[in-house]
C-alpha cells in the first residue's frame, strides 16, 4: 500500500516551499506553444477544456515540479491540452490536464508539475 502525504505537506510542496525549482523558472522552459487539445475516454464532460498560448505560459510560470507520489495524490482528469516548448534549450513536448497537473518531456528529462493556483486559467475562480 502506498502512503499518502498529509494535506499540509502536499500544500507546502505544491506552493514551492519544500521542493525543487520549477522548469519554467529562470528560462528553463521557453517557447511554450499550444498544438492540440482533447480528452481520453470518459472525458466527454470536459470537451471545452482549452488553453491558449498565453494561458499555457501562465500555467507553467505558476506551476512547481512534483514527483510521482505527489502526482498520484492529485486529480488527473482525462481532459488535456498539448504543446511544444524548449526545456533547458532542448525541444520538448508538454501535456497539461484540467486538474492542474502537467508533464514536460525532452530528450534527456521528464518533469511532472502541478499548479494549485491556476483555477482562473481553467475557467474557475482565481485562488
Q: What is the pLDDT of residue 74?
A: 84
Residue 21 lies in a domain: yes
Q: What is the pLDDT of residue 46?
A: 80
What are 23-56's pLDDT values in tens digits? 554 458 899 999 999 988 888 788 788 999 999 9
Residue 2 lies in a domain: no
What is the residue range of 14's domain?
A: 7-122
**Which H or E run includes 28?**
none
**123: which DSSP letter?**
T
Residue 127 lies in a domain: no
What are 79-93's pLDDT values in tens digits? 999 999 999 889 999
Residue 105 lies in a domain: yes
Cα separation, 81 vs 36, in Å, equals 6
Residue written as grid cell 525532452: 106
Least confident of 15-19, 37-41, 61-65, 79-83: 15-19
Buried b (16+ CB within 10 A) or exposed e, 90-103: eebebebbbbbbbb
Phi and psi at residue 78, to the nearest 5°: -75, -10
> Domain tally for the chain?
1
Residue 22 lies in a domain: yes
Give the mean model confidence (pLDDT) for residues 53-72. Answer: 93
Residue 40 lies in a domain: yes
pTM of the model: 0.75
Cα separation, 93 vs 79, in Å, equals 17
Residue 116 lies in a domain: yes
Residue 93 lies in a domain: yes
Bridge-based pairing state of the strands 109-114 and 101-106: antiparallel
What are 107-117's pLDDT values in tens digits? 988 999 999 88
Amino acid at each position: 500500500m502506498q502512503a499518502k502525504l498529509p494535506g499540509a505537506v502536499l500544500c507546502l510542496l505544491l506552493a514551492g516551499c519544500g521542493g525543487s525549482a520549477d522548469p519554467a523558472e529562470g528560462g528553463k522552459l521557453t517557447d511554450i506553444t499550444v498544438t492540440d487539445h482533447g480528452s481520453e475516454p470518459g472525458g466527454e464532460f470536459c470537451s471545452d477544456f482549452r488553453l491558449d498560448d498565453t494561458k499555457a505560459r501562465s500555467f507553467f510560470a505558476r506551476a512547481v515540479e512534483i514527483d510521482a507520489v505527489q502526482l498520484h495524490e492529485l486529480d488527473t482528469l482525462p481532459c488535456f491540452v498539448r504543446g511544444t516548448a524548449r526545456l533547458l534549450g532542448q525541444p520538448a513536448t508538454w501535456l497539461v490536464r484540467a486538474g492542474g497537473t502537467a508533464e514536460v518531456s525532452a530528450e534527456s528529462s521528464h518533469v511532472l508539475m502541478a499548479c494549485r493556483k491556476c483555477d482562473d486559467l481553467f475557467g474557475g475562480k482565481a485562488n
